[in-house]
Amino acid sequence: MKPRRTWWTIVVAAAFPAILAGAGDPIAPEQFGRLHALIKPKASEEKWAQIPWLTDLWEARQRAAAEGKPILLWEMDGHPLGCT
């Protein structure tokens, strides 16, 4: 089994009882803003989003050749919601 799949299986198995039980009390409306700010990634945590990624491989190849730079191909296989 792949390490990622093993990790995901452990997380789901650990969270499943809480999901079935309703995971406790609902979040009060006055707490939502504070909790949202706490869990939302900060701009400093998303440096990858500042890179001007290209989605057209041919355009990236031409640009890399013109600038004498390599290409980083970030690609995932499998179901788009599962990234398997």
Residue 36 domain-assigned? Answer: no
Q: In the predicted model, is pLDDT for residue 84 greater than 60?
A: no
Counting Cα atoms < 13 Å in the Cβ hemisphere of 17 gives: 2
In a domain? residue 56: yes
pLDDT above 90: residue 78 = no
Q: What is the pLDDT of residues 19-67, one digit of tens each?
A: 556 666 788 889 999 999 888 888 888 888 888 889 899 999 999 999 9
The answer to whether residue 54 sits within a structural domain is yes
Instruction: Say if 31 falls within a structural domain.
Output: no
Residue ranges making up the domain that contains 65:
45-76
Say how far apart CA 52 and CA 64 lie, in whole Å. 13
Count how many domains the chain has.
Answer: 1
